Amino acid sequence: MPELPEIEVLKGEIKARVVGRQIVTVDVSDPNVINMSPEMFASTLAGKKITGAGRRGKMLLIYLEEGLCLIIHFMLFGRIRLSPEVGEGAQVVLNLDDRRCLFFSQLALGAGVHLHQGEEIDSLPQVTKLGVDALSRELDFEQFTRMISRSKAKIKALLMDQSFISGIGNTYADEILFEAKINPERSGKSLGSEEILAVYRPLKNMLVEAITAGGAGSDDFAHLDGSKGGFIPKVHGLEDKPCLVCGLGIRKTKVGGRGTYYCPQCQNYFRRSG
């Protein structure tokens, strides 16, 4: 499922390949995923030029002429694709002036393509709720330490809490904690300064590396052209596979109701690293 790096990759692709194009017509075959009548949606978008792209947490922004903005949340399986032909299962199709179309599919569980005025975006409830962006310079080590050490919640739950830090989902939370050698069940409060640094470093670095790699290589993410990213998880989704560091089997549990993968040896709960 698309997290911060995947959205960032899509944002770059929109900027490189779609900005400057004009939307000619719009087809909506699933009105559930938009936030107004299909007629209003289509007539508002028709004739508008695509002017930019952005991101808020795990949401993709597509800016248009006249201050309009599409805000897209992909949730679990949502897809966006740029192609000369509309793919199967397209729910919303933007037909562009170069005969290509930008279309969305597999939007479910409240995922959607919502049209707003650009200046409204940062007042939307789903945006105001977001905590500091994981890649923001504002989230420096001091700030991160303050936030983590104040909380009794489990570190994995904290990393995934979008109102706390935005952009990190289940996959990268597991990968960051594996890299940090910190057990996902440890509370924020229980972490010493070195341990917090051990989480902070991969938090910043891994997200950047994943963007550079073109996002996740998993089946649930694809680029605008359908190709996959190159980021391969070391623990997430790899139950019973040998840990790349110690060779012990990777274990799966639940933390905060989410499937959680970790190495019981490298991420021993009682391990103390300092």
Partner DNA sequence: CAATCGTCCTGCGGGC
Partner DNA sequence: TGCCCGCAGGACGATT
- Let me know if 49 is a catalytic residue: no
Of residues 18 and 158, the one with the C-beta less far from DNA: 158
171 near DNA (CB under 7 A): yes
**Residue 187 gets which letter from DSSP?**
B
Q: Is 5 exposed, middle or buried (0-12, 13-18, 19+ CB in 10 A)?
A: buried
Of residues 145 and 187, the one with the C-beta less far from DNA: 187
What backbone torsions phi and psi does residue 174 show, to the nearest 5 degrees?
-60, -45
253 near DNA (CB under 7 A): no
Rg (CA), the chain: 20
- Let me know if 2 is a catalytic residue: yes
Taking the complex as a whole, the smallest distance from the CB of residue 33 to DNA amounts, in Å, to: 9
In the list 125, 142, 272, 274, the residue contacting DNA (rule: CB under 7 A) is 125
Of residues 66 and 120, the one with the C-beta less far from DNA: 120
Cα–Cα distance, 94 to 74 (Å, whole number): 17
Cα–Cα distance, 174 to 159 (Å, whole number): 9
* Bridging pattern class, strands 101-105 and 79-83: antiparallel
Task: Give CA separation, 46 vs 3, 40, 50, 66, 135, in Å.
Answer: 30, 10, 11, 12, 34
11, 55, 56, 58: which one is catalytic?
A: 58
Taking the complex as a whole, the smallest distance from the CB of residue 30 to DNA amounts, in Å, to: 8
154 near DNA (CB under 7 A): yes
Of residues 13 and 175, the one with the C-beta less far from DNA: 175
Of 226, 240, 174, whose CA–CA distance to 203 is shortest?
Answer: 174
Binding mask 75-94 for DNA (x = CB under 7 A): xxx-----------x-----
User: Which residues are within 8 A (CB) of 111 and not within 5 positions of it... i.e. 6 or more apart?
Assistant: 33, 72, 73, 74, 75, 76, 78
- Let me know if 194 is a catalytic residue: no
248 near DNA (CB under 7 A): no
- Let me know if 8 is a catalytic residue: no
Tokens linked to 61: 């922004």
Taking the complex as a whole, the smallest distance from the CB of residue 57 to DNA amounts, in Å, to: 6
99 near DNA (CB under 7 A): no
Taking the complex as a whole, the smallest distance from the CB of residue 115 to DNA amounts, in Å, to: 18
Amino acid at 63: Y
In the list 84, 99, 142, 257, the residue contacting DNA (rule: CB under 7 A) is 257
In contact, 237 and 261? CB cutoff 8 Å: yes
**Residue 179 gets which letter from DSSP?**
H
Stretch in the footprint of DNA (CB under 7 A) among 8-16, 48-56, 62-70, 72-80: 72-80
226 near DNA (CB under 7 A): no
Catalytic positions, written as ranges:
2-3, 58, 258
For DNA, the binding residues (CB under 7 A) are: 1, 3, 32, 57-58, 73, 75-77, 89, 106, 108-110, 125-126, 129, 151-154, 157, 160, 162, 169-171, 187, 219, 256-259
